[in-house]
Amino acid sequence: MRPILIPEYLSEFNCIGGACEDTCCAGWNVTIDKKTYQAYRKVRQPEMADKLQKFVKRNRKKNDESNYAKFILDENKNCNMMLDDGLCSIHKELGEEFLCNTCSIYPRNLTQVGGVTEKSLTLSCPEAARVVLLCEEGLGFIETEEPKNTRGLMNKALDLEKHPHFWDLRIFTIQLMQNRQHSIEIRLIILGLFIQKIERLKPSELEQELPVIMQDYLNRLDNEEFIESLKQIKGNLNFQLNLTRVLISYRISGGDISGKYATVLQSLIEGLGFEENDDNEVQDMEETILKFQESYRNFYEPFMQNKEYMLENYIVNYIFKNLFPNDYNTLFESYVMLVLHFNLIKLHLVGIAAKEQKLTQEMVINCVQQLAKVIEHNPAYLQGVREGMEAAGYTTMGHMFVMISN
């Protein structure tokens, strides 16, 4: 047996198969590990052997056993192994043991911290998004055990010798983000101030001062004057909306946009009046801002008064799954990407609510799931966003405050 750290919600998740409103088998490339590839070459069932021969291609650009081959997708970006009912022909005809690592563990996400395996769910699966986002009491974590030979593909591994403060920072961050005294925006701003402060310290100073700084920022949650000063930070809707529009356009230009996300996106465009002129600028930004403010005030804000835990759960799951704040080159870069994900979700929700004249739990779940599918599974897009933000000079704490603030 091996120790494994998991969120408590994991025991509640079960694939709902054909009852699912989406499919795992479309919209992204599916890699095949070497062991499974070799098993496919030994299949003797005529029909399946022919399909595997035709639609499995060696990935000779990668010298990696976990990325040894891939399934060829059809013109609609669907896996050719998918049946008409959305289920998998490999699973049906050959059995679960013939699924590649990618398909056998999805939507489970495996990481490793200091030799301990961690397992979570990625929210690009509708049922996973539902289970995670609807945890009204917040996400908790437990340590348990599983057999050492349990199948899995490690997405990330973190060396605690290189990141000795990881656990202190992780516990502090989750504790801060689950403090429901204040809005999710205030919590994110405080997290940014904290990260900005500790990044200025030398390693020797950090070792000595980190516990004191963490306690100081937790104490600030009870400091009414400090919190009130944060509430006075003014957002810039013109900047927020233009940046979101650019990020969405950049993602669309990369292709592989699912029909379901296209529907979400169209609701956003129609709801906020995001139509562009010949110069690729919003035709009437003043009107778009008014529509945003009206939707925020009438639908988004009232909904979040009782359901803000859904966004909190998204953020806490993101922190755990991605090994935040050590998922990028610097702590602040990790923070920037977290804020970007949050901002994209928030602006999509306000736009959709403007179109539908309401906001419901299922609308939030669907929006988060579709964004996760088109963004979180696209490393090239995320890298391009990081580089573009840096080139434009948008990766400052001031820009983050402007993006977060209402």
The model's pLDDT over 379-401, given as tens digits with 9 standing for 90+, comes to 778 888 888 888 888 889 999 99
- Cβ atoms of 283 and 276 closer than 8 Å: yes
pLDDT computed for residue 85 by the predictor:
82
Determine the pLDDT at residue 93.
Answer: 94
Q: What mean pLDDT value characterizes the chain? A: 91
| pLDDT for 281 beyond 80 | no
Mean pLDDT of 340-366: 96
- pLDDT confidence of residue 278: 62
In this predicted structure, the answer to whether residue 259 has a pLDDT above a threshold of 80 is no
| Per-residue pLDDT tens digits for 202-219 | 989 999 999 999 999 999
* pLDDT reported for residue 75: 86
Of the listed ranges 184-188, 252-256, 261-265, the least confidently predicted one is 252-256
Q: What is the pLDDT of residue 19?
A: 85
Nearest in space to 185 (alpha carbons), one of 193, 334, 376, 172: 193
Cα–Cα distance measured from residue 400 to residue 89, given in angstroms and rounded to the nearest whole number: 46
Can you name the residues that pair with 142 across neighbouring β-strands?
6
DSSP 166-217: HHHHHHHHHHHHT-TTS-HHHHHHHHHHHHHHHHTS-HHHHHHHHHHHHHHH
Confidence of residue 24 (pLDDT cuts 50, 70, 90): confident
Residue 15 confidence (pLDDT):
86
Average pLDDT over residues 182-195: 98
Q: Identify any residues that bridge with 26 across adjacent strands, giving them in sequence order.
A: 78
**pLDDT at position 78:** 87
Rounded mean pLDDT, 27-37: 88
pLDDT at 364 over 90: yes
**In the prediction, which pLDDT does 43 show?**
96
- Per-residue pLDDT at 81 exceeds 90: yes
Average pLDDT over residues 76-84: 89
Q: pLDDT of 119-132, one tens digit each?
A: 999 999 999 999 99
pLDDT given at position 157: 94
Residue 279 binned pLDDT confidence (cut-offs 50, 70, 90): low
Q: What per-residue confidence (pLDDT) applies to 276?
A: 67
- SS3 at position 32: strand
For residues 238 and 188, the model is more confident at 188
Q: What is the pLDDT of residue 389?
A: 84
pLDDT band at 297; cut points 50, 70, 90: very high
Q: Any long-range contacts for 222-229 (C-beta under 8 Å, 24+ apart)?
A: 222/181, 227/182, 227/186
Q: What is the pTM of this model?
A: 0.93
Asked if pLDDT for residue 28 goes beyond 80, the answer is no
Number of helices (H), then strands (E), belonging to the chain: the values are 18, 8
User: Could you give the CA distance from residue 203 to residue 196 in angstroms, rounded to a whole number?
Assistant: 14
245 pLDDT higher than 70: yes
Residue 282: pLDDT band (50, 70, 90) is low
How far, in Å, CA of 180 to CA of 186, rounded? Answer: 10
**Mean pLDDT, rounded, for 357-371:** 97
For residues 342-364, give the mean pLDDT: 96
**Percentage of the chain modeled with pLDDT above 90:** 67
